[in-house]
Structure 1
Amino acid sequence: MEEKWLRYFDQQQARRPAVLRQLMLGKVTSSVAFWAWTYDWLKYYYLNPHLKKEIFDQEIKNLQKKGYLSEGEAGMVLTNQGQAFLAATQTGICIQKPELFGRINMKLWPEALALWVQVCSELSYSNSHYRVLSQRIFLQNQVKMVLQQVDKAQFVVDFSQALDAFLAQEKPQAALAFALLLAGHQQTGFTQTQVAKKVGWTPKQVEVNYLDMVSRLGEYFLQANDKLKCLVEPYLRRNVLFSEPAQESYRLFLKGYSRQKIAQLRGVKISTVNDHLLLAAILYPDFDRKQAFVQAADREILRQYYHGSPEKWRYKDMQQKRVDVEFIKFRIYQIQKMREVGYGQTTTIFTN
């Protein structure tokens, strides 16, 4: 349903769909990250790594044809008609923490969790003769490795108590829809269609609810239960927004190395280092807090040329006047000024 894209747009702020597409695919440059940060989209990083460009672009065009989105020079805005459609179709069933999809491998973790539920259920009945849900050798080996290191009876208790505690904090209907999909001892689990009929939802709503709860249960195990975080750790992503190479460039920067020296030490181009530092400026509010990167002379030039809403500043405006300030300094100054007026209050930092 292409209308799902409407909730990413706003009636006042124009937004570029291509930024959302690249972000969800995990193909992030400093430019994509900047605009995603501006739109409060960083939390959607790697949310849909299998998104097809052609399908996405066509669906956005269809929303324009329906009058739900309107395109201007700065991007797309949600129309009154689009807002009315959203208001009339909101169900409250959504991915509550999309940022977790950038941290947890949501291809393997849901399958791993289903396997753990089955294994613990069968263990509670002392049954060792059953057909396991997953045929992935990697997942089976992870289960075997953990069970070899724990008291199985106590582990089953810990797992069951943690799962019950998590479900108890959820809305009853959502918890039921989630639990019905799980298989255990002499229980095959419902299909999404069967669950939909049971709780009065659509199959798609059942799917979204399940993925939402699986991702948040993974976070729950990681944060709230030291005994169970080992179940999730094998599925934590290393394809993160602020990658290890970017972090290394930033660490050297914090030690006082110049960009040229960082590029030399790491064997990369200065443009790569610039990209890393721009990501750091976006993700870390205290970047260049001593104003050593954008120095006084450059700040004075930028102050003279740029006024009004910093989101609308464009580097090309200064280029046309033949003013010599590096793009990276312009962008970092712009980011700092945007923070001063409230941008980036909900930024999620993705690190290894």
Structure 2
Amino acid sequence: MTELLRFFSYHQPRRIRVIENTLRSRRTVATLFWAQQYGILKWLGAYRSLTRPDFDHLIKKLVSQKLLILDEQAQARLTEEGAALLKKEETSRYDPAFFDWYWLANTHRVMQRLLLAVQVASEYSYHQNKYAPLTIPYEEMLAVKKWFRNNYQHDFTNRLYLDLQRFGTAIASEDLRLAKDFFNLLIGHQKAGWTPNQAAVALNLSVEDISFLRHDEMLAISAYARNFPGPLQQLLTPILRTSPLNQSAEVTYNFYAQGQEIPTIAQERHLKESTIKEHLLEAAILMPDKMDWDRFLPTNKRAVLAKAYNGSPVTWQFNDDISSFYEYRLYQIYQGVINEN
């Protein structure tokens, strides 16, 4: 899987576990921070089905092919051969269009719910009630069943068709391969959807790129459902996020934004102060433009830190004589923000 090469750099050693956890959406503050530093944060959750053994096997294979160098700290960087191959394959790789919505949805759940919903609607339009429904988790099946019962009497299939048609037109204007795969992925009356291998052959992409393509499709339809009323919005809204933060971190951030301090929030929420700080660090990483940096990291503290740490934040070594780790990490994030702007 040379597609993994896109997550590595020739000049910067990168932690392989950060890349793995990013692709699998294992959200720790450390993963989010380093993913941001590596410029791969938008790939969060792009390959949820990837397993640790498969990932390690792929890394080992890339090392054996002399495309990656892996050190004893489990950091890897591209070799000259790896960088050259990455450049060569640049035009043939799928370049995501909707990954900026990475935080909006668990795309596995979106796909499960969507595929069953379309199948049910298709069979209903043919007055067919004897068929084998797609096997998905029970919770998702119940959600689709409820959605169907709330809609089927109101010109249901026509409204869903128009909704899908509008969505398809929108994604086709971005990349025709998105629309081709999306509609061939759907399951209907006497119709089975494309497998990843079939899609890869038809679209001249690797199987791994098909995974990224479909993640992109599900983010796109989630964004569409978020903004346009209709059957798709009714189906998907319950599993769409309203914020990049997880629910607990969002509660903490809102308390802090209202003026409460960390010890007070910890006491009120019956959480450790360290947990509250983790929540605020997550907010700083994922919503830097909404942060009151003068409150989070006052000017006098930034001045002290500026004397101790310079250069690229990824090269710094924490010194507990200068600050707490919380302040140190905030300052790293802050420097990344101002350098980006």
Deviation at 1:229, TM superposition (A): 0.5
Aligned to 2:131: 131
Aligned CA distance change for structure 1 residues 288 and 107 (closer, same or farther; 3 Å): closer
Question: Given the alignment of the two structures, is residue 23 of structure 1 paired with residue 22 of structure 2, yes or no?
Answer: yes
Return the letter of the residue paired with 1:70.
I
Q: Decide whether the 8 Å contact of 1:44 with 1:102 is kept in 2.
A: no
Return the letter of the residue paired with 1:21.
E
TM-score by length of 1: 0.80
Aligned to 2:248: 245
Quote the Cα distance in structure 2 between the aligned partners of 1:287 and 1:214. Answer: 27
Aligned to 1:157: 158
**Which SS does the other structure have where 1:315 is aligned?**
coil
TM-score by length of 2: 0.82
Q: Decide whether the 8 Å contact of 2:121 with 2:157 is kept in 1.
A: yes
Instruction: State which structure, 1 or 2, has the greater radius of gyration over its C-alpha atoms.
Output: 1
The count of corresponding residues between Structure 1 and Structure 2 is 335
Deviation at 1:23, TM superposition (A): 2.8
Aligned CA distance change for structure 1 residues 152 and 196 (closer, same or farther; 3 Å): farther
| Identity over aligned pairs, percent | 28
Deviations 1:116-159 (A, max 9, x none): 2223333434x133304324554444334223333645222221
- CA RMSD between the two structures: 3.3
Q: Decide whether the 8 Å contact of 1:221 with 1:229 is kept in 2.
A: yes
Aligned CA distance change for structure 1 residues 256 and 58 (closer, same or farther; 3 Å): same
Return the letter of the residue paired with 2:44.
Y
**Which SS does the other structure have where 1:291 is aligned?**
helix
Farther off after superposition, 196-205 or 289-298: 196-205
Aligned CA distance change for structure 1 residues 67 and 161 (closer, same or farther; 3 Å): same
Q: Where do residues 13-52 of structure 1 align in structure 2 (5 Å cutoff)?
A: 13-52=12-51
Aligned CA distance change for structure 1 residues 247 and 110 (closer, same or farther; 3 Å): closer
Aligned to 2:332: 334
Quote the Cα distance in structure 2 between the aligned partners of 1:214 and 1:305. Answer: 44
Question: Given the alignment of the two structures, is residue 273 of structure 1 paired with residue 276 of structure 2, yes or no?
Answer: yes
Q: Where do residues 106-185 of structure 1 align in structure 2 (5 Å cutoff)?
A: 106-125=107-126, 127-136=127-136, 137-150=138-151, 152=153, 154-169=155-170, 170=172, 171-185=175-189
Question: Given the alignment of the two structures, is residue 260 of structure 1 paired with residue 259 of structure 2, yes or no?
Answer: no
Deviation at 1:287, TM superposition (A): 5.9
Quote the Cα distance in structure 1 between the aligned partners of 2:210 and 2:302. Answer: 52
Return the letter of the residue paired with 1:252.
F
Mind listing any 5+ residue stretches in structure 1 that lack a counterpart?
Answer: 346-352
Quote the Cα distance in structure 2 between the aligned partners of 1:185 and 1:304. Answer: 67
Aligned to 2:54: 55
Q: 1 or 2, which has the higher helix percentage? A: 2
Deviation at 1:103, TM superposition (A): 3.7
Quote the Cα distance in structure 2 between the aligned partners of 1:341 and 1:150. Answer: 50
**Which SS does the other structure have where 2:217 is aligned?**
helix
**Which SS does the other structure have where 1:27 is aligned?**
coil
Q: Which has the higher contact order (CA 8 A, sep 6+)?
A: 1
Deviation at 1:50, TM superposition (A): 4.4
Q: Where do residues 215-254 of structure 1 align in structure 2 (5 Å cutoff)?
A: 215-236=219-240, 242-254=245-257
**Which SS does the other structure have where 2:27 is aligned?**
coil
Question: Given the alignment of the two structures, is residue 87 of structure 1 paired with residue 87 of structure 2, yes or no?
Answer: yes
**Which SS does the other structure have where 1:341 is aligned?**
helix
Farther off after superposition, 112-121 or 170-179: 170-179
